Homo-oligomer: A and B are copies of this chain.
């Protein structure tokens, strides 16, 4: 596995190999369907690259890499039920295609399957890998619960929002790199550093996702302004609310459900406020801060600098930055 393309294709092959029983079909078919759905494979890539930072036979890390990807897809499957999302990566979501009960149960089976993949790591590393995985998995659930809680809350602070996305997004990236590094023989200190790297990278990544949803990017397949039309409490919205006067706050609170406005007018109204309050610039600043912090942590690992190159390059490409 010399290139990232080769690593990615090894991950895809490994995931596609999963040999589920034919019966009961409604339990196993949705798992194969979910795993064939594509995506960036960000989490297994990070696990593989973390492993590769400390060891060379990357093949060894594939089952654990698959475990974090299966776990991630399990969370998407159940989140789609909770969010009533009918589409996932351009295809019907599992609950839209097979119904709610099938989605609940096949999601459960998928979580168990993630543990089955994880259980194949070398026995002497299993206790540590399992503990890391369990803590990560529980924190991801906490993040999802906070995310749902926020929908009911009238006011969410920036600090609360950052804590939520750290749990919902960063913690899984952190689990992936820590397990990868651990399997590659990294010291506890290097594992802790890589954890911090992934936390910061995940925050940068999520804030960029928030920004792109409203301000777009040709790499993004989805329409601009979805978060605004849903009235979602994103970093942009929360930052704007924290800087706005009461009259402006009322605009932010109500524009998305104003029956007198068309969708594009709603988006324009909210973005006009964002622009006036310098929200895009502040968001970009926060993204850069987090991302630079992540990269600088890579320099402190106790390996030859050349060994961190791939992880650095991957993080750069993930954030759409030129090398």
Q: Which residue of B lies closest to A129 (CB)?
A: B119
The distance in angstroms between the C-alpha atoms of A149 and B105, with both chains bound, is: 12
Residues of B within 8 A of A21 (CB): 142
Which one of A108-116, A233-241, A265-273 is at the interface? Answer: A108-116
Within residues 113 to 130 of chain A, which ones have a CB less than 8 A from any CB in chain B? 113, 115-116, 119, 123-124, 126-127, 130
A148 interface contact, C-beta 8 A: yes
Proximity bits, A123-166, B CB within 8 Å = 1, else 0: 11011001100100110011011101100000000000000000
Q: Are B105 and A141 in contact (CB under 8 A)?
A: yes
* A side interface size, CB within 8 A: 37
The copy count of this chain in the complex is 2
Measured CB to CB, the closest approach of chain B to A158, in angstroms, equals 18
Compute how far the CA of A130 lies from the CA of B112 in the bound complex, rounded to whole angstroms.
11
17 contacts between A and B (CB under 8 A): A23-B142, A24-B146, A26-B149, A81-B101, A82-B101, A105-B144, A105-B148, A109-B141, A112-B137, A112-B138, A113-B138, A115-B115, A115-B130, A115-B137, A116-B134, A119-B130, A126-B130
